[in-house]
Amino acid sequence: MHVAILGATGYSGNVLYNLLSQHPNVETINLYGHEGGKSSRFLDNEVPAFFSAHIAILPFDPKEIMANNDLLFCATPAGITKDLMEPFISADFPVIDLSGDFRLTDPATYEKWYHKEAAPVDLLEKAVYGLAEFPEEKAGKYIANPGCYATATLLGLAPLVIKHMIQKDSIIVDAKSGVSGSGRKLSSSSQYNFINENVWLYKMNKHQHIPEIMQKLNEWDSHIPAIQFSTTLIPVTRGIMATIYLKPLKKYTNEQLLECFHQFYDDAPFIRFRENDLPTIKEVTGSNFCDIGINYNPITNTITIVSVIDNLMKGAAGQAIQNFNILCSLEPTSGLPQLPVFP
């Protein structure tokens, strides 16, 4: 297959290019910038790690992209694809979009949380939310790849929410992320002097992944009113740990809780359910795995779920490849590493 990447120079785009370069079903990769006109950009000039990849980054041209490729990946910041994707959606051309522009179905919700004008409703209706382990019934060729915090949180919550085993107003999520989650753009919070030996709680109850999480939770259970959600930056390069606290609907045994997760995830190639062993970020770094462990405290009647992912893999490029495999009816694990990078 011939595939295109729009936005290969960001962290998610870097990892996406790396994975596609090793995918057995990908023959060529064409790179594009989102600017028009002529371009003299090359991948190795902008990403020194790809020193041997002297590949031109071509100017954006929808007709040229669709004529020379079978599928387009978008790895751009939020606010870009909403203005560029109409030709592809109108032509029913396959797109996997890693940005947040097409994840939310309600334009007003997007504008509230992203502080940008939303895509037109008729285009949003064509997008399919691509949480790979829980595909939507609606079919479509425009896949809105989930956000990193949303992926870790939703995969941790899904079994108990779908089975209606929790008190609906009891969900508290304490999510921590590595610095690469904020992208390559320079900011004061990503400077070494700030984040080294430091922990920073940011966007308290204001993170843009909150409505995305609620949108999916309400598909599973429309009576969940809200979640308490905090995001914390920690001094690691990559990885997310979502620690989730909730109250069960009634008293359950540990075995009943374990069985619920086993029912959903025993056949999921990228979910490793660790039962009562609580996972660490290091155990999934460089992989597309989501490791999940649980603990039940009968004294406080509280269930704790720990869900860890690599934010650039399962939280971005890895899940995009997983969705690519699903969309193109390929082996689910094609092009994805089967072991984490350890140590």
Q: What share of the chain is helix, strand, coil (3-state, %, to 5)?
A: 35, 20, 45
The residue from 74, 148, 260, 290 that is catalytic is 148
Sequential DSSP letters for 224-235: ----EEEEEE-S
Closest to 293 (Cα-Cα) out of 256, 240, 257, 340: 257
Active site residue 260: no
Q: Which two tokens stand for residue 214?
A: 């609620």
Distance of alpha carbon 261 from alpha carbon 160, whole angstroms? 8
Query: How far is C-alpha 268 from the chain's CA centre?
Result: 17
Cis peptide before 343 (omega within 30 of 0): yes
Asked whether 247 and 266 are in contact (CB, 8 A), the reply is no
Catalytically active residues are: 148
